[in-house]
Chain A
Amino acid sequence: EVQLLESGGGLVQPGGSLRLSCATSGFTFSSYAMSWVRQAPGKGLEWVSAISGSGGSTYYADSVRGRFTISRDNSKNTLYLQMNSLRAEDTAVYYCAKDQLYFFDSSGYFAYWGQGTLVTVSS
């Protein structure tokens, strides 16, 4: 059974940093691209970042490029999101999602999602 479990969320001041983790099990982690998708309170989903199966290719939404860094440790079956220079508009539940393919492109999609971790950016 595929399982994704996010952690690391919390309250942080504007300009601060936070590192999210997504521990996975039930599939060959290194064989699939992974993404982070967020949902601000009362709003729709927003794709944030993605990484290929090897970790060699990374992708970012314009809203977070230069501030967020996605990475993965295939030996630990874990996905990460380092978030720096946080802003109030980054407040959201952050989900990790498993892609159907090794590469991140239009042929894949998200069949499995974690339960999410809440990040609140406020002073």
Chain B
Amino acid sequence: QSVLTQPPSASGTPGQRVTISCSGSSSNIGSNYVYWYQQLPGTAPKLLIYRNNQRPSGVPDRFSGSKSGTSASLAISGLRSEDEADYCCAAWDDSLSGWVFGGGTKLTVL
């Protein structure tokens, strides 16, 4: 059971906009930054969004992040087939003094 809650799956057609939610609590998302990772099958996580809404160099601006209260969202616009992957949110947890993650959302491009 992951500390952060994500829907297990999401889907969309090419060109569509999809959003993936991440729900936490006051000790993690409510008081700290949220991070998003993309994980292709059999590969290491890749940082997609840091500090709620910042994109590392090389990440397309089709990917965007937002946070409100104890929840966060990842939005992917102009969906492409190569976006099919698992997406995971993360945040520091003040109560645990460590990182907590969501269970991951498997995105399918129909």
Contacts and interface: CB of A to CB of B under 8 A. Distances in A.
Interface stretch (A8-16, A40-48, A74-82): A40-48
Contact of B2 (A37, A44, A105, A109): A44
Interface string B68-110: 0000000000000000000010101010111111111000000
B66 interface: no
Interface string A27-38: 000000001010
Contacts of A46: 101
Given A44-B103, A95-B44, A113-B45, A106 B2 contact: no
- B: contact size bracket: 20 to 34
A45 B43 CA distance: 13
Interface in A47-68: 47, 50, 59, 61-62
A106 B96 CA distance: 11
Given A44-B103, A45-B88, A110 B47 contact: yes
A115 B42 CA distance: 9
A54 B37 CA distance: 27
Nearest to A112: B47
A61 B98 contact: yes
Nearest to A49: B98
Contact of B101 (A35, A44, A50, A111): A44
Interface string B29-54: 00011010100000111110011000
B56 interface: yes
Most chain A CB within 10 A, of B45, B98, B100, is at B98
Interface of A: 35, 37, 43-47, 50, 59, 61-62, 95, 105-106, 109-111, 113-116
13 contacts: A43-B103, A44-B102, A45-B101, A47-B99, A47-B101, A50-B98, A61-B98, A62-B96, A109-B51, A110-B35, A111-B50, A111-B56, A113-B44
Given A44-B104, A59-B98, 7 more contacts: A45-B45, A45-B104, A46-B101, A109-B47, A109-B51, A110-B47, A111-B50
Interface of B: 2, 32-33, 35, 37, 43-47, 50-51, 56, 88, 90, 92, 94, 96-104
